[in-house]
Amino acid sequence: MNEFEDSLLIRVGQAEQAVRQALEEQDEYGAEVHGADLANLRRLAAEHGVSVDAPGED
C-alpha cells in the first residue's frame, strides 16, 4: 500500500467517525456535511482503485 492509499483510508475512517458522531449528537447538518465528504472520498478511492468498506461494513 502506498502513502496515497494510506492517507485516503485514514480520511475515510475519520469521515465515517464524524458522521457517526454527528448522528449521535443529532446534528443533521454536520451529518450531511460529513456524509458528503465521505461520499467524495469513496468516489476518489473508486477512481484510483482503492478498496474501502461499503457503508455498514465496519
DSSP class per residue in 13-50? HHHHHHHHHHHHTT-HHHHHHHHHHHHHHHHHHHHTT-
pLDDT at 54: 61
pLDDT tens profile 1-58: 699 999 999 999 999 999 999 999 999 999 999 999 999 999 999 999 999 876 554 4
pLDDT at 39: 96
Domain borders along the chain are 3-47
CA-nearest of 51, 16, 52 to 34 is 16
pLDDT at 55: 55
Cell of residue 32, nine digits = 450531511
pLDDT at 53: 74
pTM: 0.83
Length of the chain: 58
